[in-house]
Amino acid sequence: MGTIGEAGEFGLIARLTRRLPPSPAVELGPGDDAAVIAAPDGRVVATTDLLVEGRHFRRDWSGPYDIGRKAAAQNLADVVAMGARPTALLVGFAAPAGTALEWAERLYDGLADECREAGASVAGGDVVAAPQITLAVTALGDLGGGEPLTRSGARPGDVVAVRGRLGHASAGLALLAGGRDGPAELIAAHRRPQPPYTAGEEARSLGATSLLDVSDGLVQDLGHIAAASGVRIEIDSSSVPVAEILGPDGLRHVLTGGEDHAFAGTFPPDVRLPSSWRPVGTVAEGTGVHVDGREPPSGGWDHFRV
């Protein structure tokens, strides 16, 4: 099929654009200088993220389709964490000119399919030549007339609960780093997270006082809620969901491993949570995060930590 360099910038854009389905929220999609996205609420939730080859993904560990799914998922999940409905992605794609055209097309297939899962679409972006593959993804969302869920609303007495799988992506990464090829379920979890996209609007309907996407580890991310809200979060490790497949290091993966893109939030103590939400702790006066009354294990993702 040739390379993206042989296709040329405009030829590549034309080929990739044809792989992107329309979305009701995208009034004017790729093809002009900018897209037009409907914003019925009058406000737009916006987030952006960078994925750099060798830092966020490896082509010998993940194929282009999975990389596309993951790039979309981690940004769409941030919109959901605000209690919003995802509407569109803008994607900047940089790659060496010798990259196979089919590789780029499969990447965009992954982006498009993940958007379908969340009810959004890829509305546009840019492609350029670069020494290594880099993706710059901006996600947009609509609040539907509601107030955004933030990290700063947790109050003493609230219940801490999670929704979605935890620890699987971290365990899968450890397997790949160790040269192992299974369990396949864990490696697949690293390659392609599965955020529960209905979690944001559901949490808001339940009266959540705070919410975030668990991308850098449960303890580290709950620490963001604790800091923003001026409270302490107490985690009960016996209540934390640890799947048997995670093995003997399961609790560590759940507490400190990221990239599953589950959701963690706080709820008033009198709220009856559905079974999709798992209570794992409480909010108290104080600072920081404690696990079983003690300082938590170190871990969590930090791009600049050596």
pLDDT digits 0-9 by tens, 191-232: 999 999 999 999 999 999 999 999 999 999 999 999 999 999
Which amino acid is present at 27?
A: E
User: Residue 301 — pLDDT band, cuts 50, 70, 90?
Assistant: very low
Structure tokens given for 161: 């609960």
Asked if residue 256 belongs to a known ligand binding site, the reply is no
Element (H, E) at 68: helix 64-80
Asked if residue 41 belongs to a known ligand binding site, the reply is no
Question: What does the pLDDT look like over 13-54, one tens digit per residue?
Answer: 778 877 776 678 888 888 788 989 999 999 999 999 999 999
**Domains in the chain, start-ordered, CATH in brackets?**
4-142 (3.30.1330.10), 159-291 (3.90.650.10)
C-alpha distances (whole Å) from 182 to each of 175, 186, 188 are 7, 7, 9
Neighbour count for residue 83 (Cβ, 10 Å): 25
- 260: which DSSP letter? S
Asked if residue 126 belongs to a known ligand binding site, the reply is yes
Asked if residue 259 belongs to a known ligand binding site, the reply is yes
Asked if residue 181 belongs to a known ligand binding site, the reply is no
pLDDT score of 11: 78
Structure tokens given for 18: 């044809």
Question: What does the pLDDT look like over 236-288, one tens digit per residue?
Answer: 999 999 999 999 999 999 999 989 999 999 999 999 999 999 999 999 999 99
Q: In 3-state terms, what secondary structure has residue 255?
A: helix
Structure tokens given for 84: 């919003």
pTM for this predicted structure: 0.92
Asked if residue 63 belongs to a known ligand binding site, the reply is no
With contact defined as beta carbons under 8 Å apart, do 220 and 299 qualify? yes
Residues with Cβ within 8 Å of 238's Cβ and at least 6 positions away in sequence, in order, are: none
Asked if residue 65 belongs to a known ligand binding site, the reply is no
